[in-house]
Structure 1
Amino acid sequence: MFDHVKFGVSDFAASKAFYAQALAPLGVAVGAEGEPSYGVEFVVKDEVPSLILFQTREKPAHLHIAFIARTRAQVDAFHRAALAAGARDNGAPGLRPKYHANYYAAFVIDPDGHNVEAVCHAPGA
């Protein structure tokens, strides 16, 4: 269901340290990290779901929730259906090579302002 969940924190260093320590017994560790505004990604080795924290001043911070799509067609259909349901566009379906070569995603803003994504990691046809 979920690919990743991303949410903002008010003190990036403190939150990173907390989650690294608190989640270590569960086999969760830092998988990738960028600038605090991009964040830190916590993962379990060889598993897809991840938790990402980023620095923000928003209170409360909007959530970023990503759902797994098995095909690029599902990403396209998600985007159309979400817009039809009243969401605002936040990124049309397409490749996002800055994440990786096969990262095909679409983004919408839900009624509460949350960034909702569908993402397919499979190579295209």
Structure 2
Amino acid sequence: MLDHVTIGVSDMDRSTAFYDAALKIVGIERLYAERDEFAGYGADGKAFFWIDLKTETITGVHVAFMVVDRASVDRFHATALEAGGRDNGKPGLRRHYHPHYYGAFVLDPDGHNIEAVCHRSA
């Protein structure tokens, strides 16, 4: 079981603006920040997704946030695009994972693949 994940970003202002908007729509908010170097996002007082200012960003990271319904996946995708993300897979079923896998993928400002997924049937 994971406790938290940290990914590197190249610009804290740009990244916090993106994640503040994109994650809020799925019930995750910024809970902590430290000296413009770290920001922690989570729910119920527990930060489980962190961004960390790095001089060299490592891309290829894929983080999926589980949401309660398909409408939340749709809202995440639209909001993340409005916040500066790039489409990496429109909302829809991904039956090759399982029959009810409904997800959407967005590349954040540093190219990390951020997903919202619902595992419930419609």
> How high is the TM-score relative to the length of structure 1?
0.51
For structure 2, the residue ranges without an aligned partner over 5 or more in a row are: 6-56
Please list the CA deviations of residues 55-104 of structure 1 after superposition, one character each: whole Å capped at 9, or x if unmatched. xxxx9452100001100000000000000001000000000000000000
Whether 1:109 aligns to 2:88 is: no
Deviations 1:7-62 (A, max 9, x none): xxxxxxxxxxxxxxxxxxxxxxxxxxxxxxxxxxxxxxxxxxxxxxxxxxxx9452
**4+ runs deviating over 6 angstroms:** none
SS for the counterpart of 2:109 is: coil
Identity %: 59
1:66 aligns with 64
Per the alignment, residue 93 of structure 1 pairs with 91
Q: How many residues align?
A: 69
RMSD: 2.2
Task: Report the CA distance shift for 1:103/1:61 in structure 2 as closer, same or farther (over 3 A).
Answer: same
Higher Cα radius of gyration: 1
Question: Which residue matches 2:81?
Answer: 83
Uncovered stretches (5+) of structure 1, i.e. residues with no partner: 6-58
TM-score (norm 2): 0.53
Secondary structure of 1:117's counterpart equals strand
